[in-house]
C-alpha cells in the first residue's frame, strides 16, 4: 500500500475497450489499498484529427494556438477515462494540467516543467478519489496552456511522482518492458528485470523508444523507481532504478538508431577555431550534433565528421556549405544511409574487452565500421543502414548467447 502513479500512452486509451482496460488496471491497483494518480495522453486518433484540422486552416499557426488546440486532446481522454472508472463504480475525478498544479516554462510546444504543486491532487486523494491527470500539459506564468513536447506525458507522470514522493511510477506502454534488443527484430532478445537510470538514458537516446529521456533524467534526479510494462499483457515489466554495484550488468542491451545522417568536411585547414565556429553555428540553429570525430591532421589539413538527425540534414548542409565558402575547407560529403548500433551496460566500466567483443562480432558478420564513439557505459558504431539489423543480431548473440546465459 502506498502512492502509485500510473501513466498510460495514447495507444493504451485508443478506444472505449482500451479505456476500460485501463480503468480495470487502475481500479485493481486502488482495490489493493493504494492511492492512485493516473496520467493519460490523448487518444491517438484525437491527436491526428486535431493536427489535421490545424493544418487545413493554418500550417504555420503560432505555437501558442497549437498548444491551446492540442491540450484539448488529453482533456478528452482524461474525462473519458474518469467516466469509465465511474462506470465501474469507483470514486474518481479528472484534472487538467493547470488544475493539477503544473507550472511550465513559456516555450509553447516544448515547455519544461518548472514546478508541480499537487495540492489539489492531494485533496482529492484524501477524499479517496482516484485522480486522473492530463499528461503532456501545463500552464505558464501568463496562465496560458502549454505542452511539453514529445514524450511529455512520461515526464508529467514522473514529475507528479517526484512532487508527491510516490512509491512507484508505472509507465504503461505497448511493450512489456526494456529488452536487450528489439524483440521484433532479434531472436533471443530478453526482457530485463532491472536496469539503471544511466543505462536507460543511453538506451533511450540510442533509439530504444521505450521511455522519454527527460522522464528518466527526472526519475534519476529525484530517485523515483520506474516500472515500464504493458497495459495489454499486464506482465511484470522492467524496473528502472539506481544501480547498485551488484546489479551492474556487463551489457544491458543492444540498440539501433536509423535516424542518423553523417556529414564530413574534408580538407579543413589545421588551425584553431574551425570546430568552435562550425559547431556554434549549428547550435544557434538548434541542430543537435551527436557523434563528432576529427581525423589526425596530415599535410596541414584534417577531416571533421559528425552525425545529426536525418530531419536536420538539409538545413545543416546549407549552413555548412555557406560556412565553407569562408573557411578554406575543400569540400563536404554526406551519407544518410547509415545506422548507429550501440551496446549499453554499466558493467563495461570495469570490464575491458566489451569493445573488442563487439568489434569481433561485427568482423565475423563481415560488417564494416565507419565511425566509433564511446562513453563510460556505451559503445556506438556507425555502419551502413543495410547491415544494421544483421549487426544488432550478431552483437546480441555475442553477449547474450542462448547457451552461455
Binding site for a copy of itself (CB under 8 A): 16, 19-20, 50, 53-54, 56-58, 60-62, 64-66, 68-69, 71-73, 75-76, 78-80, 82-84, 86-87, 93-94, 96, 99, 120, 143-145
Task: Output phi, psi for 386, to 5 deg.
Answer: -70, -15
Residue closer to a copy of itself by CB (options 43, 264) is: 43
CA distance 36 to 353: 46
Nearest approach, Cβ of 111 to a copy of itself (angstroms)?
A: 16
Nearest approach, Cβ of 169 to a copy of itself (angstroms)?
A: 24
Helix (H, G, I), strand (E, B) or coil at 254: strand
Q: In sequence order, what are the residues at sequence separation of 6 or more whose Cβ sits closer than 8 angstroms to the Cβ of residue 397?
A: 188, 361
Residue closer to a copy of itself by CB (options 93, 261) is: 93
Nearest approach, Cβ of 171 to a copy of itself (angstroms)?
A: 24
Nearest approach, Cβ of 217 to a copy of itself (angstroms)?
A: 31
| CA distances, 254 to each of 183, 217, 367, 374 (Å) | 11, 20, 16, 14
Residue closer to a copy of itself by CB (options 125, 388) is: 125
CA distance 97 to 18: 22
Q: In sequence order, what are the residues at sequence separation of 6 or more whose Cβ sits closer than 8 angstroms to the Cβ of residue 127?
A: 91
Residue closer to a copy of itself by CB (options 86, 360) is: 86
Nearest approach, Cβ of 135 to a copy of itself (angstroms)?
A: 15
Helix (H, G, I), strand (E, B) or coil at 319: helix
Nearest approach, Cβ of 129 to a copy of itself (angstroms)?
A: 11
Could you tell me the sign of the dihedral formed by the alpha carbons of 66, 67, 69, 74, in that order? positive
Residue closer to a copy of itself by CB (options 110, 372) is: 110
CA distance 354 to 343: 9
Residue closer to a copy of itself by CB (options 61, 333) is: 61
Amino acid at each position: 500500500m502506498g502512492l502509485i502513479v500510473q501513466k498510460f500512452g495514447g495507444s493504451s486509451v485508443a478506444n472505449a475497450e482500451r479505456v476500460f482496460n485501463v480503468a480495470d488496471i487502475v481500479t485493481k491497483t486502488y482495490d489493493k489499498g493504494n492511492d492512485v494518480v493516473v496520467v493519460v495522453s490523448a487518444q491517438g486518433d484525437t491527436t491526428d484529427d486535431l493536427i489535421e484540422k490545424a493544418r487545413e486552416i493554418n500550417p504555420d499557426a503560432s505555437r501558442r494556438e497549437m498548444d491551446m488546440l492540442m491540450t484539448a486532446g488529453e482533456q478528452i481522454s482524461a474525462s473519458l477515462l474518469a467516466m469509465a472508472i465511474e462506470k465501474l463504480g469507483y470514486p474518481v475525478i479528472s484534472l487538467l494540467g493547470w488544475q493539477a498544479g503544473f507550472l511550465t516554462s513559456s516555450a509553447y510546444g516544448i515547455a519544461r516543467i518548472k514546478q508541480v504543486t499537487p495540492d489539489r491532487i492531494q485533496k482529492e486523494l484524501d477524499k479517496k478519489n482516484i485522480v486522473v491527470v492530463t499528461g503532456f500539459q501545463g500552464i505558464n506564468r501568463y496562465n496560458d496552456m502549454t505542452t511539453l513536447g514529445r514524450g511529455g506525458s512520461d515526464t508529467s507522470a514522473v514529475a507528479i511522482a517526484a512532487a508527491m514522493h510516490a512509491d512507484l511510477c508505472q509507465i504503461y506502454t505497448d511493450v512489456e518492458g526494456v529488452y536487450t534488443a528489439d524483440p521484433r527484430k532479434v531472436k533471443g532478445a530478453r526482457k530485463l528485470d532491472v536496469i539503471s537510470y544511466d543505462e536507460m538514458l543511453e538506451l533511450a537516446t540510442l533509439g530504444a523508444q521505450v521511455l522519454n529521456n527527460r522522464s528518466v533524467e527526472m526519475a534519476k534526479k529525484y530517485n523515483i523507481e520506474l516500472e515500464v510494462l504493458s497495459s495489454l499483457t499486464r506482465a511484470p515489466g522492467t524496473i528502472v532504478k539506481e544501480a547498485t554495484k551488484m546489479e551492474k550488468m556487463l551489457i544491458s542491451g543492444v540498440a539501433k538508431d536509423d535516424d542518423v545522417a553523417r556529414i564530413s568536411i574534408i580538407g579543413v585547414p589545421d588551425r584553431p577555431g574551425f570546430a568552435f565556429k562550425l559547431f556554434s553555428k549549428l547550435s544557434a540553429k538548434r541542430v543537435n550534433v551527436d557523434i563528432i570525430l576529427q581525423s589526425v591532421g596530415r599535410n596541414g589539413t584534417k577531416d571533421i565528421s559528425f552525425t545529426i538527425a536525418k530531419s536536420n540534414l538539409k538545413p545543416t548542409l546549407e549552413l555548412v556549405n555557406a560556412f565553407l565558402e569562408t573557411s578554406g575547407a575543400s569540400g563536404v560529403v554526406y551519407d544518410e544511409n547509415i545506422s548507429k548500433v550501440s551496446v549499453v551496460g554499466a558493467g563495461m566500466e570495469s570490464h575491458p574487452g566489451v569493445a573488442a567483443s563487439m568489434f569481433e562480432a561485427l568482423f565475423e558478420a563481415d560488417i564494416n565500421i565507419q565511425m566509433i564513439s564511446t562513453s563510460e557505459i556505451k559503445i556506438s558504431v556507425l555502419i551502413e543502414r543495410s547491415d544494421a539489423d544483421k549487426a544488432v543480431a550478431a552483437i546480441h548473440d555475442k553477449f547474450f548467447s542462448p547457451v552461455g546465459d
